């Protein structure tokens, strides 16, 4: 285990098993359709790379980058587009792929933006959900959730703290000593 972690929350095996289940569910739900998977940079790239290879329906990919966090562990509440998608979503079946649903501000913002662009359908697949952290009045519906986790700051499998730990193959709880 990385020395900056308190404990491992999800092992590589647990993650890959769950990702395969999500991929199977998505493949069933979108049977006969063409899907556009949109990864929210940078946290969801590892999840996206694994998930897309478990999806058996025809699927395109695109990326967008949103900033809502500074270099720390608390949301600033300010959401802005750093990089938009390359292709239009109009008339397409869009699946937003996110690493974690925390306050919900980022996904709420993305959903509002996307809905205004007239996709054929739009759903969210998030690897992690921290329901206890949802900001008051922020309502985000995710069709696919990998794991519901307690209120702790987690890193690894794409998730960072100050741009570190993204390359860990598992997900762990960061020691408060690191961000103290």
| Residue of 6, 62, 73, 102 marked catalytic | 102
3-state SS string for 100-119? EECCCHHHHHHHHHHHCCCC
Within 10 angstroms of residue 119's Cβ, the number of other Cβ atoms is: 19
Binding residue for Mg ion (CB under 5 A) from 9, 23, 39, 43? Answer: 43
Binding residue for ligand IMP (CB under 6 A) from 30, 47, 69, 157? Answer: 69
Q: Does 68 bind ligand IMP (CB under 6 A)?
A: yes
Rounded to the nearest whole angstrom, what is the least distance from the CB of residue 113 to ligand IMP in the complex?
Answer: 14
The entry of ligand IMP, Mg ion, none that residue 69 binds, CB within 5 to 8 Å by partner kind:
ligand IMP
On whether the CB atoms of residues 98 and 70 are closer than 8 A, the answer is no
Pairing of β 35-41 and β 121-129: unpaired
Q: Is 62 a catalytic residue?
A: no
Which 72-131 residues touch ligand IMP, going by CB under 6 A? 75, 98-106
Distance, in Å, from the CA atom of 48 to the CA atom of 28, rounded to the nearest integer, reads: 18
């Amino acid at each position: 285990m990385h020395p900056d972690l308190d404990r491992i929350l999800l092992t590589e095996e647990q993650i890959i098993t769950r990702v395969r289940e999500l991929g199977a569910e998505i493949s069933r739900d979108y049977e006969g359709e063409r899907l556009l998977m949109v990864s929210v940079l940078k946290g969801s790239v590892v999840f996206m790379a694994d998930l897309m290879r478990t999806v058996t329906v025809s699927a395109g990919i695109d990326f967008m980058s949103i900033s809502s966090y500074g270099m720390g562990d608390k949301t600033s509440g300010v959401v802005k587009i750093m990089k938009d998608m390359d292709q239009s979503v109009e008339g397409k079946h869009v699946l937003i792929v996110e690493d974690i649903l925390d306050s919900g501000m980022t996904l709420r913002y993305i959903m509002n933006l996307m809905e205004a662009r007239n996709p054929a359908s739009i759903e969210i697949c998030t690897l992690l959900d921290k329901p206890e952290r949802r900001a008051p009045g922020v309502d985000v519906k995710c069709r696919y959730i990998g794991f519901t986790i307690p209120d702790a700051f987690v890193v690894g499998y794409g998730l960072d703290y100050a741009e570190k730990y993204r390359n860990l193959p598992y997900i762990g709880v960061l020691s408060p000593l690191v961000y103290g």
